[in-house]
Structure 1
Amino acid sequence: MKKKKKEVTIYDLARELKYSPSTISRALNNHKSISQKATREIQKAANNMGYRPNSIAASLRNNKSKTIGIMIARINRPFIASLISGVEEAARKAGHNVLISQSNDRYENEINNAKALYDSRICGLIVSLGMETKDTRHFQQFADQNIPIVFVDRVPDSFNSYRVIIDNYAAGYRATKHLIDQGCRRIAHFAGAQHLNVYNLRKKGYLDALRESKLEIDEDLIVDFNTMSSEEGEEATNRLLDMANPPDGLFSSNDTAAVSAILTAKKKGVKVPDEFAVIGFNDDPIASIVEPALSTVSHPAMKMGEISTQRILDHSSENLDTNISEITMLDTEIIVRNSSLKKTVQSSLLHTS
C-alpha cells in the first residue's frame, strides 16, 4: 500500500521560511500587520509546498465556519438541482463553501443529516423539508446556537425562521383555471403529502377554482401521492382513465407525475390534450421534451437559492437573533404548451377572431 503523504502545516512553512507560525498564519489570511512582500513570499511557498488550510480546525477555534449547509429531499429532482446551483453560486461569490445532504424524503435521514451538519459547525442552513417530516424539533439545535435557518419551498408552519416560497395557492388556482378555460369539466388532481405547505396550498387553489366555476368536486379524481414519482403517476393515471366517467383534465403537483400521465394516456390510446388535457408544476427540462410538450407552472428555483443564501450572509454580518420570522414570496407564471391546448377550443378561438 502506498504510504500517505504528510500534510503540510503552518509549522512546516515556519521552519522552511524562518518565520514564526503566527506570522505565517496572518500572511495566509492576508492580515494587514504583515508586509505585502512577506505575504507574497509566504503564500507562494505555501502553494509550492502543497499547503491546504484546515477549515475544520479554524471552525473549532472560532466556533463558526464559512460553510453553508443544505438539506434537501432528493438531489436528482431538477427543481432541487437548480436550487442548489443558486445557493452555490451566491455562496461562492461571498467566499463560502457548501455542504449538501439529502434525506430521500425520509424523516430519520433528515434528523441524522441535521446532526451531521450541526457537528460540522456550519454558519447557516438552507432546508427544503422531506415528505415524511412533520416534526421540526431537530432544527432547534441550530436556532439555540444562533445559526440562521432558511426554509425553502417546503416549509414548516410553526418554526420561526426565514422562508423563501412561491404563492402555491395562486399557482394551483391558475393552473386549474387554465384547464377550465380549455373546456375541461372533470379535472383530476395529483396531490402530494398534505401536511406540506406546497401540496396543501396547490390543492386548495385547485378546489377553489372548481368551486368558482360551479364544477363538481369528485373526491375520486383527487389522488394523494407519497413521493410524486413517475411510478405513482402511471398507476394513478391508469386508474383514473379506467373509470366509467374518466377525467378530461389533470392538474399535477409536479412535472414528473404529469409527464408519466401523458405517456400512460398515450399508451392507452387516449388523445392528449383533446380527451385528456394535462398541466404540471415546476417547468422541469422534461416538460419541453415530452410529446405533446407539457404545460406547467414556472418555479424560480435558482432565484430561491440565491435569496436563501443572501439571507444567511446578511444575518451573519448583522449578527441578528435567529428568533425571526420573515417570508419572501416569489412570482410564478403559467407556461402554456400543447398538452393542455384542446383543439376544439383553439378552433373556436380562431373562428371568433
Structure 2
Amino acid sequence: MEVKKEVTIYDLAKTLNYSPSTISRALNNHKSISKKTIKLVKETAEKVGYRPNNLAAGLRNNKSKTIGILVPHLNRPFVSTLISGIEESARKAGYNVLISQSYDEAEIEIANARTLYDSRVSGLIVSLAMQTELYDHFKQFTDQGIPIVFVDRVPKTYNSYKVIIDNYTAGYKATKHLIQGGCKRIAHFAGSQHRNVYEDRKKGYVDALKEHNLPIDESLIIPFKTLSFEEGEKATKKLLKMEQPPDAIFSANDTAAVSAILCAKKMGFSVPEDLAIIGFNDDPISKIVEPALSTISHPALKMGKISAKRILEHEQKEQDDLLTEVSVLNTEVIARASTRPIN
C-alpha cells in the first residue's frame, strides 16, 4: 500500500498562493494576519489533512508546548485524577502532555526524566518515586530554565515549585478521629519515611497520641515499602495476632486500609467494633468495601490544575527565575462505617 505524503506548510502555501511564512503565522493566529486569511488557511489545512509538527517547532525554539508528567503509578486513583487536572488545564491553553511512570523505582524515574528532557518539554510536573532519595536528574531541567513543579510527593531540599497538602494536620485529624471514637491502642501503617507525605502523616499520628496522653508503641507502627494491598494484609495479620492487638488502624493510604478491613473480617474481627480503620486519599474503593472506609480527602484534581497553572504562568510571563513557591491545600476527615461514632 502506498504511503500518503505528509502535507507541509509549503504545500499549503502553493495551494493558496501565499508565502510559507504567511501560512505559518496564520496557523499560529498571528496578529499581523487578517481573520479572513486565518480562517481560510485553517479550513484548507483541515481539508487537506495538514498536521502541525510540534516536535520540529520545539527543536527550533526549545519549546514544544508540551508538559511532561512523571508519576509513580498510573493505576492509582489519586494519580489518575491528578493527571486529569493537569490535562484539563494544559488542553485549554493549547498544550499537550507526555506521561511516564516510575513504578516507584528511582532508576526508572531517572531514565524517564532524561526521556522527557530530550523531548524538549516546556515544563515538568513530578510526583516522586518511593525509592528516590537524590535529585540530580532534575538538574538538567533547572539548568536550562525549564520549570519543575513537584506535587504531593516532593523533595525536602530541591528548590522548585511545590503543590502539597498539609500531611501533618491530616495525619493528626485521622488519629484524633479514632481517639474520639474511643480507640486507645492505635496502629499506623507508615509509608517510606524519606518521603515527605508519609513522614508528616506519621508525625501527626504521634502528636495526636501524645496530646491525648496515649502511649507511643513502636510495635504498632508498621513500616511499608509501597503501601500495597499485600503489605496491608500481612501487617494486619501480624497486628491481630499480638497478645494485645490494636483497637484501631490509621493507614497512610486507602489500599492498605481496605486490605486491613477484609483481613480483619476474615480473621473473625468485627469492623469497627473490634477494630476501627481509617485510610487516606478517598479512593473509589473506599466507598465500595463493606463496611465503607473512613478516610482523608485528597484534592487530586485541584492539585493537578494548580500544578499545570504554575507551568503555564511561567511560560506566559517568560520568567527567568524558576518557581519556588509552595501551595498547601487543606484536607478533611470523611467519616464512614469503618470507624466508630465520635463520643
**Secondary structure of the structure 2 residue equivalent to 1:340:** coil
For structure 2, list consecutive stretches of 5 or more residues without a partner in the other structure: none
> Residues 8 and 51 of structure 1 are in contact (CA less than 8 Å); yes or no, is this contact kept in structure 2?
yes
> Residues 143 and 322 of structure 1 are in contact (CA less than 8 Å); yes or no, is this contact kept in structure 2?
no
**Secondary structure of the structure 2 residue equivalent to 1:291:** coil
Partner residue, 2:162: 163
Distance 2:290 2:87 in 1: 33
Change (3 A) 1:99 1:222: same
Count of residue pairs the alignment pairs up: 343
1:241-267 Cα shifts (integer Å, max 9, x gaps) = 111111110000000000000000011
CA drift at 1:32: 3.0
Partner residue, 1:287: 286
Partner residue, 2:98: 99
Distance 2:288 2:81 in 1: 18
User: 1:110 is matched by which residue type in structure 2?
Assistant: E
Distance 1:34 1:146 in 2: 31
Change (3 A) 1:29 1:320: closer
Change (3 A) 1:323 1:89: closer
> Residues 161 and 322 of structure 1 are in contact (CA less than 8 Å); yes or no, is this contact kept in structure 2?
no
Partner residue, 2:20: 21
Partner residue, 1:63: 62
**Secondary structure of the structure 2 residue equivalent to 1:32:** coil
CA drift at 1:319: 2.4
Cα RMSD after superposing both structures: 1.3
Partner residue, 2:52: 53
Partner residue, 1:221: 220
Distance 1:59 1:108 in 2: 27
Distance 2:201 2:31 in 1: 55
CA drift at 1:101: 0.8
Partner residue, 2:209: 210
User: 2:301 is matched by which residue type in structure 1?
Assistant: M
Partner residue, 2:332: 333
> How do 1:163-312 and structure 2 match up within 5 A?
163-312=162-311
Partner residue, 1:147: 146
TM-score w.r.t. the length of structure 1 is 0.94
TM-score w.r.t. the length of structure 2 is 0.97
CA drift at 1:305: 0.6
1:255-308 Cα shifts (integer Å, max 9, x gaps) = 000000000001111000000000000011111111111000000010011111
Partner residue, 1:87: 86
Partner residue, 2:124: 125
1:30-72 Cα shifts (integer Å, max 9, x gaps) = 2233333333222222111100000000111111121111110
Partner residue, 2:317: 318
Moved over 6 A (4+): none
CA drift at 1:20: 2.1
